[in-house]
Amino acid sequence: MAAVSAAEGVAATALQSVVQRIQHAAERCGRRSDQVRLVAVSKTKPVSLLKQVYDAGHRCFGENYVKELVDKAPQESLYQDEVFILLSLGELQLPDDIEWHFIGNLQSNKVKPLLTGVPNLAMVETVDDEKIANQLNCVAGDIGRKPLKVFIQVNTSGEETKSGVESDGCVELVKHVTSNCPNLEFCGLMTIGMPDYTSTPENFKTLARCRSEVCKALGISEDQCELSMGMSGDFELAVEMGSTNVRVGSTIFGAREYAKK
Ligand SMILES: *Cc1c(COP(=O)(O)O)cnc(C)c1O
């Protein structure tokens, strides 16, 4: 137990430090830090660790895998005594005022389990083709939830292994969402970019250019189109380049350990 509490304290402290670094980056370029949302990326991390960050006052978390997110999010159907048993095992799911962002690769057959299993899903950041947009729109309508916020994921690095729509197909996909998907709310663009720090500015500039094109095509102002970019290695740079949504995992929660296959 002692080891667990130490790790938890570290996560809360790391969170505060990331929040401060975002503030400073925003100040450096004359932006307000409340214009930047911090998504704490908690994939592979246990609920106990997320709870520590939650207890430090943080409410926005990001996950990549549908099953893992559904397991962590609250289930309305739990009976009182089941909750009690889970509580005593220390495995309680997380409170329902968390704003969950789904940031992983999403397959159409996982849309229904995601939307039904996570009533407080706030945003899907990874819409990258019409098929997935249509499926999200359809399920959101069927279950009668409020319109689901979405980002369009853009492949700004041109790497074949990365998901995301090509930058020159971005406007068309955004138009599809805004014209044909009434149960989705288009909020902006997302990119991952290359991990290599030196090439990242190019990827972030490409995303900003996509935003200009989208805003022109839709006749909206740039503050109506968010930019989700920046991770542990480059979130301050991303803020300086206009990011409104940084997704930070390992700097808050520590390195991820994946089970060996
Ligand atoms: C895992 C992940 C992150 C967080 O990465 P870190 O480098 O640990 O901060 C951010 N965005 C996406 C899409 C991810 O999959």
Long-range contacts of 18-27 (CB under 8 A, 24+ apart): 18/235, 18/248, 18/251, 18/252, 21/235, 21/236, 22/235, 22/236, 22/239, 22/246, 24/236, 25/235, 25/236, 25/237, 25/239, 25/240, 26/239
What digits encode the pLDDT tens for the residues 182-198?
Answer: 999 999 999 998 876 66
Distance of CA 82 to the CA centre of its chain: 30
* 188-246 residue pLDDT tens: 999 998 876 666 789 999 999 999 999 999 999 999 999 999 999 999 999 999 999 99
At 79 the pLDDT is 54
Distance between Cα 218 and ligand 1 center (Å): 30
Q: What mean pLDDT comes out for the span 118-125?
A: 96
Is the pLDDT reported for residue 84 higher than 70?
no
Task: Please give the pLDDT value at position 193.
Answer: 86
What is residue 162's predicted lDDT score, i.e. its pLDDT? 83
Q: Give the DSSP letter of residue 168.
A: G
Please name the residue whose Cα sits nearest to atom 4 of ligand 1: 249
Q: Give the tens place of pLDDT for each residue, 10-26.
A: 999 999 999 999 999 99
pLDDT-derived band at 8 (thresholds 50, 70, 90) equals: low
Place of tokens 């998907």: 181
Q: Which residues line ligand 1 (CB under 6 A)?
A: 41, 43, 64, 103, 192, 231-232, 247-251
Q: 261 falls in which pLDDT band (50, 70, 90)?
A: very low
* Per-residue confidence (pLDDT) for residue 86, from 0 to 100: 55
Mean pLDDT of 38-57: 95
**pLDDT of res. 6:** 53
Q: How many helices (H) and strands (E) does the chain have?
A: 10, 9
Segment 249-256 shows an average pLDDT of: 94
Residue nearest to ligand 1 atom 13, measured at CA = 103
Task: Compute the distance from residue 191 Cα to the ligand 1 centre, in Å.
Answer: 11
